[in-house]
Structure 1
Amino acid sequence: MKHRGTFTSAMAALALLSGCGGGGDGGSFSSGGTASPAPSPSPSPSPTPTPSAACSLGSRQQWALGQLNEWYLFPDDLAQGLNPASFSDLNDYVDALVAPARAKRQDRFFTHVTSIKEEDAFYSSGTSAGFGVQFQAYSDPKLFVVDAYEGAPGLSAGLDRGTEILAIGTSNSNLRTIPDLVKAGGWDAVSDALGPDTEGTARVLQIRQPNSAVITISIIKRPFDIPPISSRFGTRIIDDGGRKVGYINLRTFVGPADRALREAFSNFKAQGVTEVIVDLRYNGGGLISVANLFSELLNAQRAGQVLSYETFRPSKASQNVTNIIGSQPQAIAATKVAFIGTRRTASASELVINAQRPFLGNNVALIGDNTFGKPVGQIALDRSECDDRLRAVALKTENSARQGEYYSGLASQMAVTCQAGDDIFRSLGDPQEQSISAALGFLAGRSCTPISSTASASATAGSGMHLLRPAKPNAAQLDVPGLF
């Protein structure tokens, strides 16, 4: 999750955010309303060396250490006595600094350094460069597309949900199969074979479509926008035995999601919808401000009530925020909500799910699989002369009942859960897709098998799946797992 503002993630020397990866909002410190708005903090003064020395690795390491010492949520869990000279990469040094917290599952690579320019482009407009698809890997080993974005190169070239990638190359003559790549270098070899996230990167892919047709395509990476809500399946009203059920699939919590969410809920309101399926199965997080808006749109009857809390370390208590539910003209008074999640559902997605627990009790459920487990948020600390943005875990998030600490995911915290698979051979939004069918069952009052702490949702294509991730993900890939 990310906050946005002068002190949040996307746009300022010091930005507040909370999310699975990075991100920010570029605006006031908290959005969605606050009981007492916190002032935007000022970063500690840093030395201003000459330009040639300012961005040396040693200078950047010194700056990162200083910011973590000041802002990190778990100051007692920062490694002591590290020799910066032992590290040739800034992120490797930051990883080593927060390793003690990571060992306690408090910071699983959430704290990192990214590009200010790259991240601002993603959070303000949802823009990235690549094929514009999400890949899911299976232990077979197999690689499938689970989502393809409208207007991006992948969908135009024939890649869509359920497409299997059989082989990757730079030409027809050097295609290498997925099993061969995995055998040679694990899934990192597959990520590497797909090429860098730079405009103009070309690849040849041999693919199998859901109808079993095998073809070879050429595809070139270029900039694309991620529509937060798909124009093909992102929102609809499902007639379930005469009951109107609203369905909404949010891909990522970025700035453009504001308008898309409002339009979707305006339609729900006009149709009298009070029961909703919220599909967040591949959503790795994003802006807290968008998460707060999402919660407000579900809670028209609770305007003015506390939504959530954001709490910093004691020395930064002046930055604590109480989010109040604002009155949104498009909001509905949801009476029952089914959230579809997986182990890739994280951060801002979990914030929205957790927020409904005190309000709906047994009338809110988690469908599918356990979530990732990220009840903390990052702030963005910028050093513009080096294009460095340090995303540092600096705050914890709690719902109105002060419930948080779900580091092992939300399944054990929810009053109701229903285990279900992710059927990649059916479109998202299809009432017959396994997780959506289970969600409709919950809303209709039917019983289900709860999600166990060890359960892993299965798909018809195989088990042991994970969304493909490069060794060094860019800003977009941090919050949109599987994005290429």
Structure 2
Amino acid sequence: MAISSIQKLTIGFFNVSFLAFLSGCGGGSTMTDNNSNGGGDTGSSINWTQGVFQPSSNFYQQCQVLNEKHWLRSWSNETYLWYDEIIDRDPALTPAVSEYFKLLKTEQITESGANKDNFHSSLPTAQWRAQSQSGVTFGYGFNVKLISPTAPRQGVISYTEPNSPASAQNLARGFEILEIDGVDFINANTQAEVDTLNAGLYPTKVGKSTSFVFKDINTDETREVILNSQTITSRPVTNVKTLADGTVGYFQFNSHNAIAEKPLYDAFNNLKASNVTDLIIDIRYNGGGFLQMASQVAYMIAGPANTNGKIFEKTIFNDQHPTFNPVTGQRLKPVMFTNEFVGFADNPALVVGTPLPTLNLERVYLLTTASTCSASEAIINGLRGADIEVIQIGSGTCGKPYGFYPTDNCDTTYFSIQFTGENNKGFGEYSDGFAPQNTTDNARLPVRIAGCAVADDFSHQLGDPEEAVLKAALGYRDNGSCPAASSIASKQGFAPARFGDTPAVLDTRAGSLAEQNKILPSH
């Protein structure tokens, strides 16, 4: 099956010249100084009239402060999904470009009390390229699940990366954080203390030395270790194995980043060679990434007969752009189930166009938590649209049916929500996430699907058949029944909800937020 041009998109960073149809409403004031010398603000060289926008192309890559802010203002008005909810402010009144960008988003609150848009962020372009292309981030090599971000808080290591400071210290899933740099992780309640916890837990550069005290939840043994942050290259696909006498395939899928494409290809090839009849994918901590990679995963699960001619996701932009993509200028086409190797990475490991392996399954088991987000949720929604049975084991997902194109201007890459999506059946409203049918949570309104609500089990390693979530999936496969519900559909540990004046430990790094979304690359 041939795939459309939008499906063949490969990663890049924009040199976008917006077309005439992006001019916005009613034109704009005359710009008197278009010089781009990398210097400071041009003062009052660009007049601002509320509600009147020049084309963003007038300011693109003109790297003076006022020009950059006017580019952001026009670009947001053209492409932001909720552009009509942005309060239009004079760019000249906000000194910093980064601070002005923070204002270019909706301020509305959802029914569940969270910010409508928690994913408005930016990164230096070089850092974003390293992160998205190579899986490189700053850290210690462990992923933390924040079970409770406010006092009395709880944070537990959910998994570690091989060949990292954490693995060198024999840290593993199930180690609970007690102290960071002498601050009580559980009970700290001043902003200064919580700032220390956040700075230690989420370093933003190489070489940060941080003292941790951990407790092994299985033995209650405590250990103090000093870790030095470094660039960590993640392994997005791990733990590929067969279970239940070889009939069930399993693997852990942590991120839809560029380097995941080849390991995913290999995982499905291995499981196909093993003739598995069922598949369990562990996406508990997969915050998202490339939407087209999600379509590849769904295709490799379901195969050609189950997906032929079906839409994986129809991308929908704001109401100014019903026909053409406001970023690429192309006529809007849905993302189909992608049946070939796309080559997301700068140096693809396989020839682009290599056919993908398939398991040709009509059901799949997905292990989820509140950290399962966006592109991971798109796998659920896309498969359900193609009548593939999705059985969800764990807790409710985060609820993020939105995405964006990372867009570079003046060496900064911006992430601003630009589209939402619908599956082959026209369904796409899951802003409260997906949750197993027996979930006991009345605070949200998740889309309930077949499966079992089971709390994350940190007393066993991921992939262990005795680990509670995986054990429940295997049990459901055997007899269609669930253990007593032990999990709720909650946003805990995922994105900032509204905590009032209580200081919270939260990973609000732009890179983290950017990964937790559906991303379409440039072409």
Q: TM-score range by the shorter chain?
A: 0.7 to 0.9
Unaligned runs of 5+ in 1: 16-39, 170-174, 459-463
- Gap runs ≥5 in structure 2: 24-30, 41-61, 326-331, 340-354, 436-445, 496-503, 518-523
Q: 2:48: which partner in 1?
A: none
Q: 1:36-74: per-residue Cα shift (whole Å, max 9, x none)?
A: xxxx96697994533203545443322211101111122
- Whether 2:13 is the aligned partner of 1:12: answer yes
Q: Relative contact order: is structure 1 or structure 2 higher (C-alpha 8 Å, sep ≥ 6)?
A: 1
In structure 1, the partner of 2:511 is 475
Aligned residue number for residue 109 of structure 1: 118
State how far apart, in whole Å, the 2-side matches of 1:375 and 1:472 are: 20
Separation (CA, whole Å) in 1 of partners of 2:10 and 2:459:
36
Which of 289, 292, 297 pairs up with 1:289? Answer: 292
Q: Hey, what does 1:403 align to over in structure 2?
A: 427
* Count of residues paired in the alignment: 434
Distance 2:10 2:395 in 1: 29
SS in 1 for 2:119: coil
Match of 1:377 among 400, 403, 419: 403
**Structure richer in helix, relative to its length:** 1
Query: Does 347-356 or 159-168 show the bigger shift?
Result: 159-168
Equivalent residue number for residue 305 of structure 1: 309
Question: For the structure 1 residues 335 and 476, does the alpha-carbon distance in structure 2 shift closer, same or farther, using more than 3 Å as the test?
Answer: same
Paired residue secondary structure (2:320): helix
- List aligned pairs for 1:75-90, cutoff 5 A: 75-80=83-88, 82-84=89-91, 87=94, 89-90=96-97
Q: Which of 321, 324, 338 matches 1:318?
A: 324
Match of 2:226 in 1: 218
Aligned residue runs from structure 1 range 73-222, under 5 A: 73-80=81-88, 82-84=89-91, 87=94, 89-101=96-108, 107-139=116-148, 140-169=152-181, 175-183=182-190, 185=192, 187-194=194-201, 196-209=203-216, 210-222=218-230
Counterpart code for 1:337: V
Sort the Cα spacing of 1:193 and 1:258 in 2 relative to 1 into closer, same or farther, 3 A: closer
Distance 1:59 1:9, change over 3 A: farther
TM-score (norm 1): 0.80
Residue aligned with 2:417, SS: strand
1:71 matched to which residue of 2?
A: 79
Matched residue type, 1:325: F
| 1:457 CA displacement | 6.9
CA distance 1:138–1:304, change in 2 (3 Å):
closer
CA-to-partner distance for each residue in 1:455-476, whole Å, 9 max, x for gaps? 3479xxxxx6568965640424
1:336 paired to 2:324: no
Identify the residue that residue 229 of structure 1 maps to in structure 2. 237
Q: Is the CA contact 1:98–1:107 (under 8 Å) kept in the aligned structure 2?
A: no
Rg larger in 1 or in 2?
Answer: 2
- Does residue 267 (structure 1) correspond to residue 291 (structure 2)? The answer is no
| CA contact 1:235–1:248 (8 Å) conserved in 2 | yes
Shift in alpha-carbon separation, 1:6–1:365, aligned structure 2, 3 A: closer
CA RMSD of aligned residues (A): 3.3
Structure 1 residues 238-277: aligned runs within 5 Å: 238-239=243-244, 242=245, 244-277=247-280
**CA 1:450–1:323: 2 relative to 1, 3 Å:** farther
What secondary structure sits across from 2:292 in the alignment? Answer: helix
CA distance in 1, matches of 2:279, 2:209: 41
1:154 Cα deviation (Å)?
1.4
Alpha-carbon shift at residue 280 of structure 1 (Å): 1.0
Give the match for residue 55 of structure 2: none
State the TM-score, normalizing by the size of structure 2.
Answer: 0.74
2:247 alignment partner, SS class: strand
Contact 1:10/1:380, CA 8 A, preserved across alignment: no
* Contact 1:107 1:393 survives alignment (8 Å): no
Question: 1:415: how far off?
Answer: 3.5
Q: For each residue in 1:13-58, what CA deviation from the matched residue of structure 2 results, as whole angstroms up to 9, or x when unmatched?
A: 258xxxxxxxxxxxxxxxxxxxxxxxx9669799453320354544
Report the CA distance between 1:107 and its aligned residue.
4.4
